Amino acid sequence: EASRGVGVVLDVAEDADGLGRLVKDADVVVSLLPAPMHPAVAERCLEHGTDLVTASYVSPELHALQERCEQAGISILNEVGLDPGMDHMSAKKIIDDVQGRGGEITSFSSVCGGLPAPEAANNPLMYKFSWSPMGVLRASKNDAVYMQEGDVINVDGADLLSSARPFVGNWPSMHLEVLPNRDSLVYADKYGIQSAKSIFRGTLRYGGFSNVMHVFKNMGLLEEGAEAGQGTWADALQRLGHKRGYTDLKSFASACAGGDPALAANAVGCLKWLGITSETEVSDPADIVKSFCSVLEDRLCFEEGERDMVLMHHDIRASFGDGRHETHKSSLQLFGTDKMSAMCKTVGCTAAVGTDLLLSQGRGGFERKGILLPTSRDIYEPCLAALEAEGLRFEEEMVVDDEGEDLKFGA
């Protein structure tokens, strides 16, 4: 039980005055709300001179508040969760060390995934939700761009799931796959690695997940704004098939699987396991994605006693003027416990140590105002030390060789 906390029910979107009163009385605000709600919280923080911490990516709306934050004398520390958050800190620690010794980064890869532990990956998708189900579905349709050996590779959101590749960088027994994650190119400037010819950020899943989800996407189950229609899931699937010119589920699935019979069979088997070929009523006739998300949320949940798992891995390669090449690998693997999930610990502890850092201002330590990220040494060093004290420690290794090899997508 939270002996030092008080629960309050508040509609942040509708009760600006109530939000303002809470912010006014706070030493610092930690917002773990959906990212689109952070600007409204930030406005109240500006009004009352209160620092703010979020675990979300900096939005254009928050980025535009830099000058106002400086004028108000407040800090808004963003991207202090797992990804983004711990990824920034652990990667920049290596990058800054290499550059401080006169090296330049030639290749950068960073991947992360929130997954069920292997023994809990016991369903056809080998996946369970440890964060927002709708967020997972929407992320599977994001456009992505990365750099491979100097070539810029663009991936349309419609093709993201089909772009998954086997991940061979670590944990080979898990048979993982990796998907490109949003815009990797911005990290050239964000991390100061403009010298890199390969820059890749990715999302980890167990192998096979993306292909089956791509079939579901082709079927129309991820199409936002589309109706499911009245009736059962069997009726909804029939309507989706008819819309695309198919009269039976087998031929519909085969077409959506690109003619791959094994993949089509896996997809149909998964649909049956989910209950989407049954006479179960759709939950929201006006929205196929919400209805599908509701099914996934119900079926892909952790049972009592099951563990989640967080994986993060960096592969950073560098060259030096004397011809030396270094390959740095940094990995984190964390399993949930009966007291706390791995996702909760990695996001929550990172936000907490960031909060503690802001609270230390004025006591001879950290002192900076404006829109902040955990990519500078004065932020990531104390945060990584505090995280290590909580058992969140990266395993690092470095290999020195005479010939550098560029990094391939999936490595």
The predicted-structure confidence for 373-403, as pLDDT tens digits, reads as follows 999 999 999 999 999 999 999 999 999 986 6
CA atoms of 137 and 273, how far apart (whole Å): 19
pLDDT at 7: 86
CA atoms of 368 and 75, how far apart (whole Å): 7
CB atoms within 10 A of CB 210: 23
- The enclosing H or E element of 77 equals strand 75-77
The CA R_g of the chain, rounded to the nearest whole Å, is 23
Sorting pLDDT into bands at 50, 70 and 90, what band is 243?
very high
Q: Residue 149 in 3-state DSSP?
A: coil
CA atoms of 175 and 370, how far apart (whole Å): 43
* Under 8 Å between Cβ of 87 and 112: yes
CA atoms of 220 and 228, how far apart (whole Å): 10
- Calculate the alpha carbon distances from 260 to 165, 178, 255, 352 in Å: 17, 21, 8, 47
The amino acid that residue 10 corresponds to is L
Query: What would the pLDDT profile of 155-177 be if each residue is shown by its tens digit?
Result: 999 999 999 999 998 999 999 99
Query: What would the pLDDT profile of 198-234 be if each residue is shown by its tens digit?
Result: 999 999 999 999 999 999 999 999 998 899 999 999 9
CA atoms of 43 and 40, how far apart (whole Å): 5
Q: How far is CA 407 from the centre of its chain?
A: 22
* Under 8 Å between Cβ of 19 and 44: yes
Q: Is the model more confident about 246 or about 133?
A: 246
Catalytic (active site) residue 15:
no
* Under 8 Å between Cβ of 406 and 106: yes
Sorting pLDDT into bands at 50, 70 and 90, what band is 132?
confident
Query: What would the pLDDT profile of 71-106 be if each residue is shown by its tens digit?
Result: 999 999 999 999 999 999 999 999 999 999 999 999
* Under 8 Å between Cβ of 350 and 85: yes
CA atoms of 161 and 279, how far apart (whole Å): 29
Q: Is the model more confident about 411 or about 8?
A: 8
Q: Which of 51, 83, 87, 315 is catalytic?
A: 83
Q: Is the model more confident about 370 or about 131?
A: 370
Q: What percent of the chain has pLDDT over 70?
A: 96
Query: What would the pLDDT profile of 286-304 be if each residue is shown by its tens digit?
Result: 999 999 999 999 999 999 9
Q: Residue 16 — φ and ψ, nearest 5°?
A: -65, -35
Strands of the 75-77 sheet, one edge to the other: 28-31, 51-54, 75-77, 370-372
pLDDT at 341: 95
Q: What percent of the chain has pLDDT over 90?
A: 88
What is the chain's mean pLDDT, rounded? 93
Please compute the mean of the pLDDT values over residues 24-51 and round it to a whole number. 95
* Under 8 Å between Cβ of 167 and 200: no
Sorting pLDDT into bands at 50, 70 and 90, what band is 4?
confident
pLDDT at 297: 93
- The enclosing H or E element of 152 equals strand 151-155
DSSP 8-state assignment for residue 29: E
Sorting pLDDT into bands at 50, 70 and 90, what band is 6?
confident
The pTM of the full predicted model, rounded to 2 decimals, is: 0.92
pLDDT at 402: 63
Q: Name the packing angle between helices 209-219 and 233-243 (round to 10°).
A: 70
Which residues 6+ apart lie within 8 Å of 303 measured at CB? 120
Sign of the four-CA dihedral 28, 30, 87, 118: positive
Sign of the four-CA dihedral 222, 205, 87, 336: positive
pLDDT at 133: 85
pLDDT at 115: 97
